Each structure stands twice: as C-alpha cells, then as structure tokens.
Amino acid sequence: MTSRYIPRMYVPSVGVSFRVIIMIEQPHKPTVLIIEDEAGPRNALSVILRPFCTILTAAQGHAALEALTAQPVDLVTLDLRLPDRPGLDVLRDLRLVRPEVEAIVITGYGSLSSAVSAFQLGAASYLLKPFNVAELVAIVHQMADKKRRLDVFRRYLSQSGAQLADEPQAQAAWLRLLERHRTLLPSGEQDIVPAPNYSEYAGLFSDLLEARSRALFAHSCRVGYYAHVVGQQMTLSPAERRTLALGAFLHDLGVVALSTRLSPSPWAFEEWEQAQTNAHHELGAGMAVATHLGTDVTQIIRCHHEHFDGIESLQGLRGDGIPFLARVVAVLDVFDQLLVTQPEGIEAGFPHAVEQIRAQAGRRFDPEVAEPVTRALAACGPSSSVQAASVRTATLPS
C-alpha cells in the first residue's frame, strides 16, 4: 500500500484548486487515452491524471481509434464534441474494437439524451465540465481496479467458464473463483460483509456478467432495476421483492458459461439470446444451485423463458405451472429487449414497448402479471427507463 500526495494545484481550464491524498495499491499504472479536441482541457486532464496513469492523447475520433488499436489502453476519457465525428460514434466503435476498455464521458454539453446513450454504449461514468477533480481521480482508480479484475475473469471464462455449470465440480469451482475475486478487490473492500440475506457471491456475479459482455451486464442491471420498481407496486412481501430483484438481475447468469466465441452484439441482443435460450437457462439454474441462491431464485433463472400458453415453452410448463416470480421476470426481460431496440430511443419508444407486452398477454405472458407490471411501468413513465440505463449494479430492496 502506498500513499500518493499531490501538491495543491490550480488548473485554469477546469477552474478548481485541489489537493488529493489517495491510498492505493496498484501493480502498474493504468494507461489512459484522453480524447479531447481542445488543448486546454486536454492538457488539464493530463496534468490531473499523470501522477497515477500513463497518458496518451488524441484530438480527433479517428486518431483515438488508431491509438486504441495500436497499443494497450485501460481507460479512455471522451469528449462528446470532436471535430471529425460525434463522441458517441467513437464510443460505439470503441465497443466494437476494444470492448474491454473502460470509458468515462466528460462533456461541457451534457444532455439527458446523450447521457442515456452513453450509458447504453457502456460508459462507466458521465461527468459535466467543470468537473470535480477528486471525483474524477476516484473514478479513474475505481475503473482501473475493475478493469484488472475483469481482465482476469475474461481469461477465466474463455478457458474454464464451463466448469461453473458442470454439476460434479461446479461448487468447488465457484468457491475457488470466489476466493480469487476477494484477492482482486481493493484492500478496503476485502472485508466488507454482504448485506443480510444476500449471497456472498454478489460482487463476483456482477464482475462475471460484465466480463462476459457489457451488453449482457447492462441488460441484467436494467431488468433488475425494473424488478425493484415493479416489486414496490405489487402485493409482495419484502422477501419476495428481494427474491424478484435478485432473480431478475441473475436471470441470464448461465450465459457466462457459454463459449466466449458467442459474444452477444449490443445491437442484436434479442436475436443472440434467442439462439442461446435452450442452453443458458439450465446452465444458470445449475449455477444458482451451486452457489446456494435458493429455490425461488433458481426457478426464476430456469423458467423465465416459459410461455404462458405453453407454446414454445422450454420446460413444457404453462399457466400457473410456471413459478409466479418467473412470470414477472419474463415480462421485464422482454420489455427491456423491446425498449433498447427502439430506433426512436427510450422516451419515444416506451409506449410502444408497453403496448407490445400487453398485446402478448394470454399468449407469451400471464395476463394477470402483464397488466399490473405494465401499469407499474407506465405509472413511472420513461423516466424509469432513463434511470435504468445508468444502473451498473444489482438493485435490491433494503
């Protein structure tokens, strides 16, 4: 553990005087690519981050993508207004060529629409100029720590991910991976005790989902958030609301055991998931058993693709034979897929997604579930989906 002290400095283009003392433990400096067309902010960011990071800079989107493909980069800071192309287009291409790189958007022209788009494209944070320097430094360290963890788990999943669902050895594999996860956490987090009634595997699940695919992780976070919102509006006990939110967040857990050659595209997630449905729900249920998540969460994971009318049901279940909470997650899962593929965006596409769910009531969805769920979503309006787009963790009732 080392203590790094930065003398008090004033950065004119940021407009703040600051001094930061940070206790960190890093095996190496992360490499940060600063994508900013204006020299003042670009130089200011370089001054701020150079004590902790190896700095690269690019003034245009094209140059940034060349830098990303030419050398290892851990993080980027990205301005949304660049001279040759929009910053969001650069972020979209970044996700295609270097999906493992963390991205922090820093802009002087922020908007709700651009923030939602940035989060949908996998941005880790969205900061407005003038930003808080200490906050930026903290975010960079957090993202660097996370990048190192995810790189470890990406390698693990590509080599040994199937062990997590292989029943004879799954429990031992999970215990080994859990111990490895603990060693990768920052020292201040290693001794954190999980919340009551919440699996000790919580952080590991999140990291595995994100290591597998940012699109998968973001989808899981959004569905979990919708479950939290809807659960508050339904007649459920506190334990049921918690089970619903956890099961919703982990409904696609089995995907992490699938071959990494089958990586989902964020632009065609529904089609990709459909092709993998026959495998991932059973794999996920096996993982839930191995990690002692309980029968109710396991049922959500196993049964969330069952159709209410029994047609195309994978388990041969229909009607009330499908566990109730799995019927709720079935609605939320498809609702999110409908919403993120709306060409007109979340706010404009929200009513259409709600209508599509209602149109499938009695066929794919339980009408006695689809109606209260869509009513709860409609009551919150598009703002719930805007909020969901920024969620980067499991949302569980307290």
Question: Does residue 173 fall inside a structural domain?
Answer: no
- Mean pLDDT over the full length of the chain: 85
Distance, CA of 168 to CA of 147 (rounded, Å): 31
The answer to whether residues 35 and 78 touch, using CB atoms and an 8 Å cutoff, is yes
Question: Does residue 327 fall inside a structural domain?
Answer: yes
40: left (phi over 0), alpha (psi -120 to 50) or beta: alpha
pLDDT of residue 6: 39
CATH code for the domain in which residue 18 is found: 3.40.50.2300
The answer to whether residues 75 and 33 touch, using CB atoms and an 8 Å cutoff, is yes
Number of folded domains that form the chain: 2
Q: What is the pLDDT of residues 80-114, one digit of tens each?
A: 999 999 999 999 999 999 999 999 999 999 888 89
Distance, CA of 170 to CA of 139 (rounded, Å): 34
pLDDT of residue 5: 37
Question: Does residue 136 fall inside a structural domain?
Answer: yes
pLDDT of residue 198: 52
pLDDT of residue 252: 94
206 and 92 within one domain: no
Phi, psi (rounded to 5 degrees) for 7: -60, 160
Question: Does residue 166 fall inside a structural domain?
Answer: no
pLDDT of residue 259: 65
- Structure tokens belonging to residue 198: 């919440």
235 and 94 within one domain: no
125 and 221 within one domain: no
pLDDT at 395 over 90: no
225 and 352 within one domain: yes
User: Hey, which bits of 68-193 come out as E strands?
Assistant: 75-78, 102-107, 125-128
Q: What percent of the chain has pLDDT over 90?
A: 61
Question: Does residue 255 fall inside a structural domain?
Answer: yes
pLDDT of residue 275: 56
Question: Does residue 296 fall inside a structural domain?
Answer: yes
203 and 120 within one domain: no
288 and 211 within one domain: yes
Distance, CA of 170 to CA of 26 (rounded, Å): 31
pLDDT at 263 over 60: no
Distance, CA of 129 to CA of 317 (rounded, Å): 53
pLDDT of residue 383: 76
The answer to whether residues 103 and 76 touch, using CB atoms and an 8 Å cutoff, is yes
Band (13; pLDDT cuts 50, 70, 90): very low
328 and 203 within one domain: yes
The β-bridge partners of 3 are 23
Distance, CA of 80 to CA of 299 (rounded, Å): 43
Q: Which of 147, 173, 206 is the last residue of a domain?
A: 147
pLDDT of residue 306: 94
Predicted TM-score (pTM) of this structure:
0.84
Q: What is the mean pLDDT of residues 256-285?
A: 64
- Structure tokens belonging to residue 208: 């595995």
Q: Which of 102, 120, 100 is nearest to 260 (CA)?
A: 100
Lowest-confidence pick of 5-9, 148-152, 322-326, 347-351:
5-9
| Rg of the chain (C-alpha set) | 22
CA end-to-end distance (rounded Å), the chain: 33
pLDDT of residue 257: 87
234 and 359 within one domain: yes
Q: What is the pLDDT of residues 15-56, one digit of tens each?
A: 444 444 444 444 579 999 999 999 999 999 999 999 999 999
pLDDT of residue 27: 56
Band (176; pLDDT cuts 50, 70, 90): very high
Q: Which of 255, 230, 265 is nearest to 244 (CA)?
A: 230
Band (3; pLDDT cuts 50, 70, 90): very low
pLDDT at 277 over 70: no
Which has the higher per-residue pLDDT, 352 or 272? 352
> What is the residue range of 305's domain?
193-390
Band (12; pLDDT cuts 50, 70, 90): very low
Q: What is the mean pLDDT of residues 286-310?
A: 94
Question: Does residue 348 fall inside a structural domain?
Answer: yes
Write down the residue that tokens 């062990």 correspond to. 163
Question: Does residue 381 fall inside a structural domain?
Answer: yes
319: left (phi over 0), alpha (psi -120 to 50) or beta: left
pLDDT of residue 110: 87
CATH code for the domain in which residue 376 is found: 1.10.3210.10
Q: What is the pLDDT of residues 345-392, one digit of tens each?
A: 777 778 889 999 999 999 999 999 999 999 999 888 777 777 777 777
